[in-house]
A and B are shown apart, each in its own frame.
Chain A
Amino acid sequence: MNCRNVVERLDEFVDGTLTAAERGTVALHLESCPSCREAEAGVRALAARGAALPQAIEPAHDLWPGIAARIQAGTVTQGRFGAARHSWRHHLGALAAAAAALVVVSSVVTTLIVARRDATTASSRAGRTGLAAGVTAASLELAQARGTYEAARRQLLAALEARRSSLSPATLKVLDENVRIIDEAVRQMESALARDPGNQELPSLLVTAYRQEIDMLQRAAGLPARG
């Protein structure tokens, strides 16, 4: 099992869902591979962070402006991922962290979908707690999911940018075009969600698009030279 195979299995390794044989193989590899141990530590840290997320958010009425400002400034989870680094060893850690971030995104949005089923209740709760008009617990949770996705996306786009010269123009053209396709899809769905905030299906489709983009960028960052 090589580093790529191991990194792909780290989520399941950390969750304890691998078969005994696979778990033994991954553990053996980790003993002798510092970069994969670093990636494993990143996954464990993010998994712990995801597990610590609350099932529901009861925000203080003055929470939203701060979160909105941080999202606007692109600093929601910047401290978690750190500054861009370009060595392969750090790419591995960043990719594993990005993958784990998507686990967090998915879990947050799952919570969000459940929360949206009771959007009316959330709205009335918002009213009771004095939230600004249109701001609900569900919208705060979506903001959190979006912030995590954006941070993972930024990190992976930086990794791709750092190795553009090693990829063929044809591959770069395909990647750039498909990043554009997904970004446009995300933009349209977010715009639709703004018009129809109670829609129960849009968050799930949004997460699918988020995951496809992160998956594509992860693969792009790991493509072989001349690819």
Chain B
Amino acid sequence: MNRIGILALTMAAAAMPAAAQQRVDETKPAAKDGAVEVHNVAGSVRVTGWDQDQVAVTGTLGRGTERLEFTAGERRTVVRVVLPHNAHHVDGSDLEIKVPRGSSLEVNTVSADISADKVSGETVLESVSGEITVGGEPKRFTARTVSGDVDITAASAPGQAKSVSGTVKLNGVTGDVEAGSVSGDISVKGDAISHVDLETTSGDIRLDAGLAKDGRVTAKTVSGTVELVLPAATSADFDVTTFSGHITNAFGPEAKRTSEYGPGKELSFSTGTGGRIVARSFSGNVHLRKK
């Protein structure tokens, strides 16, 4: 075989998708507070912040994957699992990525689960059906899925968590947080909520938390159930209305009918100054319970 033939064979082999799983283990220098962008279709992406000015990628590329694109510019590092055009039977790729702690992070997947921890820059994670988990203390987080669940344990970070049908869980959150789901449920736990806005169409909303000084909670649903479990000593103004649902209240007064003829009910009372609790529903029930 002549040299041209050998070269052509070598190039063809390099361009062929991997027939079996491939191990990945690469490291590149990165800015302390640069941007890291990750794209993976299926499998998993696990990102952890560390105290080195490097991005390190380890893991496996699934069978049928074309290659891993790993490029590092001065301020931006891109990690992308590249699939062949018109790929059909490609296995998921599992990536474990270490990034400088101060990085901002953006991860996009289709079905791959995403987790991010110990990253202190802005963190934007999006998946179609994968689950998203955010821990640590990012400057701000955004987590969005269509059907995947979202689990936020990022203690003091402000941010937004949204799904269409997945469950959204906020655990130990104290920052300003907005959470929404159409048909998925929302669950919030924490000791000192400062400001949360929760919205669903048919999903249930459950908050089991204490309020920070001047804490604000707003929960809106069309047909889901709203259950707010609060410490008995909660000091706040309460403002609850429902068009056709029921209201129960463990803190004192009973709900009044808004009209002599309609099914609507409203409940407005105060247990002290500082906090504010607002709940709105169309047909869903609203329950105020003591811890």
Q: Is the CB of A175 within 8 A of B220?
A: no
Q: Is A72 close to B, CB under 8 A?
A: no
CA distance A224 to B127 in the complex (A): 9
**What's the tally of chain A residues with a CB closer than 8 Å to chain B?**
33
Please classify the interface of chain A as helix (H, G, I), strand (E, B), loop, or mixed, using the class held by over half of its residues: helix
Chain B residues with Cβ below 8 Å from A202 are: 243, 282
Complexed CA–CA distance, A171 and B165 (Å): 10
**Nearest CB in chain B: distance from A180 CB, A:** 10
Chain B nearest CB: distance from A114 CB in Å? Answer: 17
Residues of B within 8 A of A (CB): 37, 41, 106, 108, 110, 124, 128-129, 144, 146-147, 162, 164-165, 180, 182-183, 199, 201-202, 220, 222-223, 241, 243-244, 259, 262, 264, 280-283
Q: Provide the bound-state CA to CA distance between A177 and B162, in Å.
A: 17
**A182 CA to B282 CA, complexed, in Å:** 13
Q: Which of B129, B182, B241 contacts A216 (CB 8 A)?
A: B182
Decide: A171 near B128, CB < 8 A? Known: A185-B202, A219-B146, A226-B110: yes
The answer to whether A178 and B241 have CB atoms under 8 Å apart is: no
> In the complex, which residues of chain A have a beta carbon less than 8 angstroms from the beta carbon of B282?
185, 188-189, 192, 202, 205
Which chain A residues border B164 with CB–CB below 8 Å? 174-175, 178, 216, 219
> CB of A38 within 8 A of chain B?
no
Give 1 or 0 for each of A186-227: 1 = CB within 8 Å of chain B CB.
Answer: 001100100110010110110011001001100110011011
Pick from A182, A195, A209, A223: contact of B128, CB under 8 Å: A223
CA distance A209 to B199 in the complex (A): 9
List the A side residues contacting B129 at CB < 8 Å: 170-171, 227
Chain A interface (Cβ < 8 Å from any Cβ of B): 2, 5, 168, 170-171, 174-175, 177-178, 181-182, 185, 188-189, 192, 195-196, 199, 201-202, 204-205, 208-209, 212, 215-216, 219-220, 223-224, 226-227
* Selected contact of A205 from candidates B165, B182, B183, B222, CB within 8 Å: B222
* 11 A-B contacts (beta carbon < 8 Å): A5-B124, A168-B128, A174-B146, A177-B165, A178-B164, A195-B262, A205-B222, A209-B222, A212-B201, A226-B110, A227-B129
- Chain A residues with CB under 8 Å of B180's CB are 212, 215
Contact of A182 with B182 at beta-carbon distance under 8 Å, contacts A188-B282, A204-B280, A224-B108 already known: yes
A178 with B183: CB separation less than 8 A: yes
A183 smallest CB distance to B (angstroms): 10
Specify the chain B residue showing the minimal Cβ separation from A193: B243
Task: Assess the A185–B223 pair: CB atoms within 8 A.
Answer: yes
Find A201's partner among B37, B162, B280 (CB 8 Å cutoff). Answer: B280
- The DSSP consensus for interface residues of chain B is loop
Partner among A189, A196, A208 whose Cβ is within 8 Å of the Cβ of B199: A208
Q: How far is the CA of A182 from the CA of B243 in the complex (A)?
A: 17
Closest partner residue, chain A, to B108 (CB atom): A224
Contact indicator B243/A223 (Cβ below 8 Å): no
> Are B146 and A189 in contact, CB atoms less than 8 angstroms apart?
no
For B202, the chain A residues whose CB sits under 8 A away are 181, 185
Q: Chain A's nearest CB lies how many Å from the CB of B160? A: 10
Minimum CB–CB distance for B121 against chain A, Å: 13
Given A178-B165, A185-B202, A224-B110, A201 and B182 contact (CB-CB distance below 8 Å): no
A204 to B221, CA, bound (A): 11
In the complex the two chains form, is A227's CB within 8 Å of B110's CB? yes
Q: For residue B110, which residues in chain A have a CB less than 8 angstroms away from its CB?
A: 168, 224, 226-227
Contacts of A215 in B (CB 8 A): 162, 180
Q: What is the minimal beta-carbon distance from A152 to any residue of chain B, in angstroms?
A: 17
Q: Chain A nearest CB: distance from B15 CB in Å?
A: 21
Q: Are A171 and B280 in contact (CB under 8 A)?
A: no
CA distance A189 to B283 in the complex (A): 9
6 A-B pairs besides A174-B147, A188-B282, A216-B164 with CB distance below 8 A are: A170-B147, A181-B202, A189-B222, A205-B222, A208-B199, A208-B222
- Contact between A199 and B264, CB atoms less than 8 A apart: yes
Q: Which residues of A contact B106 (CB under 8 A)?
A: 2, 5
Q: How far is the CB of A4 from chain B (nearest CB, A)?
A: 9
Docked CA distance A141–B190 (Å): 40
